[in-house]
Structure 1
């Protein structure tokens, strides 16, 4: 994949013509192809016939299988819904937290959903154990040491939303499986920016969403289920789409034989149709090309920050960071607000986060950092 090809794909994102956008960790740029999907949906609703569901059913499944391919999973191993929290909560109802094996091990770098959600399962016997972060990262050895025969679930982020730190999943999965625990991975801040192969990793469950690095719809998240675990899952929070043959409209007598058994009610089809557009562009670029370009861009951000004396929170090693560089310095929140107001779009989550994607250029990174450094110096004066 050449830089010229990435430049051609850049043209598919009109937002980039209006601002300097390095905010994919919050929301990815909107591909122009989404507009045609929205127009088609509007026409469909204006001319409604029930037969539309035949095509929509196919579209919903096709996107789920396309996501599965993108992360190295087989057909039928992914189900989609409106957000990660809904899917993770539904998955949680599949587990028994009675007896000695009741612990849910999480880390101190999780998105707020994770500790809040698992704490809710304490009413069913779950006991949450938090492995604290050491600076920007959670040490894999410390995490593995917290996993023992009392552990039911290890729930951790692949990449931190706050620091961009990337977790080495392999030793965690190995340790969890050795003691009979299962691993739930939140990959929202890595999928689309970092290559993921769920089959090679052996993860039990992996969740992510479309609207950040996958350049898709805000209302689209997914759950991957390791195929050999599917038959063992009996979700208590369920709906008619989880049944074996929902479109017969007969009472469900069995769960679907695929990851669709983790579905709920009427599916959000439009978000899947919209998100397919961004996924097609990611496939056109190639995830390994995206990763190489991301590492170049984030390295440039860190180098420019170092030159200006701005502290970098994000780990330096390529293997330890995803697509985010977080800076923390006096007045960083005010600087972030002024940057956004001036058309240099980033985000603040306890630190100023800079997140270039495959559609950004090194020239843009330098332009952004020129303005960031100038604003930081103004703040310090």
Structure 2
């Protein structure tokens, strides 16, 4: 696939950018949108800019809904994954019918922040974190823990950050629901490079961010809450943007929004949603399926030309079970790291693993430079 024209869509640091799993590069449209939809209204209207800012956040929610096949009313902006996950867990934990369910299951390779949320809620709600080991798609391993009963929820990681292993979400969701547990999904490492379909999955809640493959920058998190359960959930904390009418300002009348926005909270950081909305719409215009195909082709090419001496690398067949990142390892990690740095490759390292992420702006020439660093 010829995607060289997309390189011009971004403000890119010098060198070869392979860090989309960490922070996606800044799209030029996002910088323009920040000025047009956030700074200019503030400059021209001051405190009267709120209607335009709220419209911009509405557009963000609509873009997320289109991206993951959901309704805008099922989307609530969040600062990050942990804030939405914490609010949702608290809301389901305090439902009377769940009073005996205190276990939360997640895979051992789940993002650490999500585990911290469960541990932090132990005192308030008595929640207990249980980790599942091995292949994240081993249904038997999940069922072993679910069969012990008292499981409140399972958090499934769509793509794991340290291995790039991809979970087959739909059968995992079905398994959790068969055991009367809430089925939740973390899509931070997948959305934008792996298709996400909230309706097909039938998950109760989904948590994501825009900072990685969506190139939306930090601060633009979001949560999806299935429409049929929204009105029975009363999260804490709340704030004026959790209200049906945030500008009513009647301190004695809190009426929670009848959409997912009851999970919103206090004054939002408008700028992050403005920049992220522009980047999401850019990705939608390019097509997630095109990003995914390009990413796969580049990874396959890299694997074909990497030396056989690497100690850790997936096979071509294994690529189909992975997300956008390549996790690579070799005997002399320090030497390879030095070569990658000298070649201008922007990557990161987790102990014995290099994480390399190739997005729509990367080329076959980039891949060949990376391969040379392992020669």
When the two structures are superposed, what TM-score results if normalisation uses the length of structure 2? 0.91
Aligned length: 366
How far apart are the structure 1 equivalents of 2:145 and 2:274? 41
Q: Deviation of residue 242 (structure 1)?
A: 0.7
Q: Which residue of 2 aligns with 1:317?
A: 318
Change (3 A) 1:126 1:318: same
| Alignment gaps of 5+ in structure 2 | none
Q: Deviations over 1:86-135 (max 9, x none)?
A: 1211222102277432110111111110211111222121122110135x
Change (3 A) 1:282 1:173: same
Q: Which residue of 1 aligns with 2:27?
A: 31
Local SS of the residue matching 2:213 = coil
Q: Which runs of 4+ in 1 moved over 4 A?
A: 313-316
Q: Which residue of 1 aligns with 2:298?
A: 297
Q: Which residue of 2 aligns with 1:248?
A: 248
Local SS of the residue matching 2:92 = coil
Change (3 A) 1:146 1:300: farther
Q: Which residue of 2 aligns with 1:60?
A: 57
Q: Which residue of 1 aligns with 2:126?
A: 125
Q: Which of 348, 354, 367 is the equivalent residue of 2:356?
A: 354
| Alignment gaps of 5+ in structure 1 | 375-381
Local SS of the residue matching 1:34 = helix
Change (3 A) 1:238 1:332: farther
Change (3 A) 1:340 1:229: farther
On the 8 A contact 1:159/1:321 being kept in 2, the answer is yes
How far apart are the structure 1 equivalents of 2:334 and 2:102? 40
Q: Deviation of residue 38 (structure 1)?
A: 3.4
CA RMSD after TM alignment: 2.0
Q: Deviations over 1:344-375 (max 9, x none)?
A: 111112310011012212222122221x214x
Q: Deviations over 1:183-210 (max 9, x none)?
A: 1211100000101111011011111111
Local SS of the residue matching 1:247 = coil
Q: Which residue of 2 aligns with 1:266?
A: 267
Q: Deviations over 1:145-181 (max 9, x none)?
A: 3223421110121101001000011111111111111
* 1:72 maps to 2:69: yes
Q: Which residue of 2 aligns with 1:277?
A: 278
How far apart are the structure 2 equivalents of 1:164 and 1:312? 13
On the 8 A contact 1:152/1:182 being kept in 2, the answer is yes
* 1:141 maps to 2:140: yes
